[in-house]
Structure 1
Amino acid sequence: MRIFIAFDGSFEMFDVLADETVEAIKLMIKDYFHIPLPEDKQDRRYLELVYAGAVLKDSWSLTDVGISFCSTLKCFVKEEDKPTLYVFNAVTKETMPIMESMSLLDKKVSDLRTLLTLRCGFPVSVFCLRTPKGLEMYDCNTLRNYQTNIGTTLRLDVWDGWKEFLMGCLLGRKLEVQRYLSNEAPVLKYQKRVALYIAAFYGHIELTEWALKQGVWPNEAVGVHPYRVWCHEALHADVSKCPIHAAAEAGQLLILKAFVHCSVLCLECKNAAGQTPLTIAFKHKHKDCVLYLLGKMWSTVSFLKISLPMRIYIKIKQWVLRAQSHSLHKRWLRGTRVFGTKVGDTVMVDGYTKPKMTSKSWHKAGNKDSQFPANKLSPLREQTTSRKPVYPLATPELNQRRQTRKFPLLADANPISEFQRQQQNQRLATSGKKENLVKNIYLPQVPLPLVSRVGYSHPSFYCTTPGADFLLWSSFSAFSEHDGRTPRENAIYCLAVAR
């Protein structure tokens, strides 16, 4: 069967079998026109046959498609770019294709992590990369050292217990971010810097305002997790990036304005490569951000009797801040302040300690109480209908103790006669009625002051006659013997009469 092939402006005739497959015809076309098709796994070039506007698959035969004698097929050379790598994000559950050249496989892991910060908006100190077998990849090694080939899917893991926190930052949910903050003070400060960085990258206004109110500066470097502060020699260079750099990379004009209004030092804040926000915005072709930052850099700052260019004003302010920090550092040294990691702090040693960046959820990481717990009413312990206080149930041992506990009898210091004992028993018999009488008549009229429990000492009272206080107390005691009242009740009675 004779067919015609149209390729690259030429029109050629081919004699093929009726049941020939499309794949066999492509091989004939390749050999006839000498088309180079390299066996490249990334830049894939292949032939495509089209008949009546439909693309023919390699497994189809000519008769099945309905190609008859003297039919014309069109042939094209197609190129398909495949991603070099795939990265699975454990926070968002998405797979990101990395469309870079094959030279990326010969670079270090740190270069790949720099690319990922521009894709997902995470600071480099928040996540790590792992091979398909779960082996952690360190920045100092190349991708080839971990047997990474074209099309390999790597995994992006974050700190344990941070998935919910980072997801709240990505979505700009302030309450969710507050709920999953850490209870450790150093980690809490680091989380606030991370929240401001991600909010600046995605343009979340509410979360940005909250982080600025928490005392986070836009020109302050995000830094690293407190567990990794001690290993400063092996840190990534991008740990010095600030939220102002993230806003310039993403082209967030409103966030840039808020940061510059917060501190004009953001205009001259440089990253590890020495680039200012204006340079970064120009590199990423954000025209509006470039015009705004350029206008701010060439503006003037006016005072009462002088006006300074913005560059001079920034240099003066930086000099003042360095002088203040230097003097403050001296004061801390005099007070024997401890800097850096202390004894008892948690540290991570690569390859030795148990990994803490496995993307465990908040509850699986062992976190129970959040920084900002939800407002909930405490449950009722006892539900009773009476107004009497509810006491805990007494145990049998406690009841037995209460029943068997008795106070010892007081022994008489001085023996008394039988007549005095009879008078004492008579007074005890009528003491109840007289006690009620005294309390009902005199106590509401002239109440005595309450007993003070204050810890300070009261001024002493002195009498002119020696032994006057003893005579006064003995007179009250004498009255109590004859009237059946205590000395305190006698005092109440005397005050009532005097009034």
Structure 2
Amino acid sequence: MTLPLTHPPLFNPSTTEEPPNRRRVDVLTMRVFICFEGSCEPFDVPPDQTVGAMKQMAKDNFLVQLSDDKQVQQYLELSYGGAALQDSWALCDVGITSGSAIRCLIKSERRPVMHVFNAVTGETLPITGSEALLHMSVAGLKTVVSMQSCLPVSTFRLSTPAGVQLYDCNQLQDYAIELGTTLRLDTWDGWVEFLQGCLLGHRMTVQSHLSEKKPVMRFQLQVALCIAASLGHLDLAAWLLKRGMHAEEPVGVHPFRQWCNQTAHRDTRKCPIHIAAESSQLLILKLFITKNLLTLSCRDPGGRDPLKVAIQCGHRDCVRYLANKLCSLVSLPNMSLPMRLYLQIKHWVRLGQKRAISNQCQHTSTALKARVGDTLLVDGFNHQNMSSKSRKALIKPSRGIKAKALQPLPPISNLLSASHLTSKRALPQIPSLQSVNPKQKKQNQDVKSGQLDKINIEDRSLCRGKFILPRYSRESIPRPVLVGASPKSSHILTESLESFSHHCADTPRENAIYCLTIASTFTEKPWLKQLSIARTLIRKRVHTLAECPS
């Protein structure tokens, strides 16, 4: 039996129904509008279209010509909801739906004169400016790098790609540094985890990675106070003040370099109170001044007090607070003194106490507090212990254990120069006790490296202090279980979190902070919409990990 041939019904515009193929096309695409220089053009794109592809479509449609010379670089930027969209994002992941309007702008920026790879955080710092920076001194470059990395100048050294160390007394042109060169920043061996804890404001991490030698430990605490003053870590700063640190004392130099103290960098005489005024950390300023009023009259290497530093940096809130403090009165028993006069009297008293102590100990003390067996480093005469080795690698070198960083860092061994590799003998590796399939191990490493490549290192640096999650709950009190919940639900959740950390190289907490920080850049969206964007980003990343072979 044969069925009669029939033609599909024709589409009638007067009816509300559409043919199935037309509805299917509408579901697979959505229409967005791109606004550029007063004109608005519609684009029919799939929901999973990437921002990079949208930029190329806008560039071809609006016939945009971008200049790309040695000094200035122009590029397109798409913004939605107050946030600049990154090329790797998909439209549906950041809440862009059909009918949304996206702004397109032409941005221009100066190309960096050079780059500095930070071995502590794993990020590359751009040094912007004119080509005149190539003729500046190494000391001036270290000042710029210190302000960008928030690390005191006495905690790191700079070296060329060939491994040649840069000394403060020389000029950059003495090392034949060209335009676009990437220098390397290294810290003292065993300090990587300590400095990472300082940058993140984790007091327990800082405390657990302090040196066992008292002079080095005291120098580390003063370094931590400077970093806390720069980044505004109030909890860490308060703990350091309780440990006996002072905001009016300079950071100084490492005890190993006390013979080079006369030729030390100028910024080693900078105090935490000046760093807080430069960074506009008002709460840190209030904490320091409440602890000791003498910090108001503390002078930096240029002879400036904190008020003058804040004025030159243009921080109005800090200037207002410091000016009010200096113009106030100090109430004493039966009298009141202006703050400036009170500070001068306190300064005289402290100066007299120091002279009295020095006169009593002039026969027993020496200019250098060095003892037999102490390590002393002199520039150009011995090997500097500043190669950014982890603390665990120094304690257990025979086991070949790599220190677990607080943030995912690129392997430093791949970035060392050939001269370093030939001068240092590789540590022996003990094989694992359990058999591991080499193919499976390689796939796991590819998955981890692929996830790290998707995350921009510069965005991770912005996430360091922008979004703060509540602390971990370590209560041992049993909590009520929901009705109908499986007794194995907590076990399943724990296994899921461990599996995520195994495949992603990030903890679930770090991943949540990263996604929430990205969602918070959509300032024109309400908070619930930002939370929805963050949940979408987390869900997509989990699905990506699930699809990758383990």
- Name the counterpart of 1:183: 212
| 1:82, distance to aligned residue in structure 2 (A) | 0.7
The structure in which a higher percent of residues are helix is 2
Q: 1:218 to 1:78 in 2, by over 3 A?
A: closer
| 1:86, distance to aligned residue in structure 2 (A) | 0.7
Between the aligned partners of 2:317 and 2:371, the Cα distance in structure 1 is 46
Could you say what secondary structure the match of 1:231 adopts?
A: helix
Task: Please say which structure displays the higher CA radius of gyration.
Answer: 1
Between the aligned partners of 1:161 and 1:312, the Cα distance in structure 2 is 45
How many residues get paired?
A: 302
Could you say what secondary structure the match of 2:303 adopts?
A: coil
Pairing partner for 2:264 from 211, 231, 235: 235
Between the aligned partners of 2:308 and 2:182, the Cα distance in structure 1 is 33
1:394-449 deviation per Cα after TM superposition (whole angstroms, max 9, x unaligned): xxxxxxxxxxxxxxxxxxxxxxxxxxxxxxxxxxxxxxxxxxxxxxxxxxxxxxxx
AA of the residue aligned to 1:308 = L
| 1:304, distance to aligned residue in structure 2 (A) | 2.0
AA of the residue aligned to 2:275 = A
| 1:45, distance to aligned residue in structure 2 (A) | 9.1
Contact 1:44 1:81 in 2 (8 A): yes
Please give the residue correspondences for 1:213-362 in structure 2 after superposition, counting only pairs within 5 Å.
213-335=242-364, 339-362=368-391
Between the aligned partners of 1:244 and 1:120, the Cα distance in structure 2 is 18
Pairing partner for 1:210 from 227, 234, 239: 239
Pairing partner for 2:203 from 167, 174, 184: 174
Could you say what secondary structure the match of 1:125 adopts?
A: helix
Could you say what secondary structure the match of 1:358 adopts?
A: coil
Could you say what secondary structure the match of 1:88 adopts?
A: strand
- Name the counterpart of 2:169: 140
Q: 1:338 to 1:128 in 2, by over 3 A?
A: closer
Q: 1:163 to 1:79 in 2, by over 3 A?
A: closer
- Name the counterpart of 1:85: 114
Gaps of 5+ in 1: 1-37, 47-76, 369-499
Q: CA RMSD in A?
A: 2.3
| 1:198, distance to aligned residue in structure 2 (A) | 0.5
| 1:331, distance to aligned residue in structure 2 (A) | 1.6
- Name the counterpart of 1:156: 185
1:98-125 deviation per Cα after TM superposition (whole angstroms, max 9, x unaligned): 1122111111010011111211111110
1:142-169 deviation per Cα after TM superposition (whole angstroms, max 9, x unaligned): 1111111111111111000000000000
Could you say what secondary structure the match of 2:216 adopts?
A: helix
Between the aligned partners of 1:355 and 1:234, the Cα distance in structure 2 is 16
Between the aligned partners of 1:42 and 1:144, the Cα distance in structure 2 is 19
Between the aligned partners of 1:335 and 1:350, the Cα distance in structure 2 is 29
Q: 1:82 to 1:335 in 2, by over 3 A?
A: closer
Between the aligned partners of 1:203 and 1:143, the Cα distance in structure 2 is 32
Displaced runs of 4 or more, over 3 A = 43-46, 77-80, 334-339
Higher relative contact order (CA 8 A, sep 6+): 2
Could you say what secondary structure the match of 1:365 adopts?
A: helix
- Name the counterpart of 1:126: 155
AA of the residue aligned to 1:281 = A
Percent of matched pairs sharing the same residue: 47
Name the TM-score, length of structure 2 as normaliser.
Answer: 0.53
- Name the counterpart of 1:196: 225
Contact 1:251 1:281 in 2 (8 A): yes
| 1:342, distance to aligned residue in structure 2 (A) | 3.0
- Name the counterpart of 2:139: 110
Contact 2:230 2:275 in 1 (8 A): yes
Q: 1:262 to 1:148 in 2, by over 3 A?
A: same
| 1:303, distance to aligned residue in structure 2 (A) | 1.3
Could you say what secondary structure the match of 2:361 adopts?
A: helix
Gaps of 5+ in 2: 1-66, 76-105, 398-550
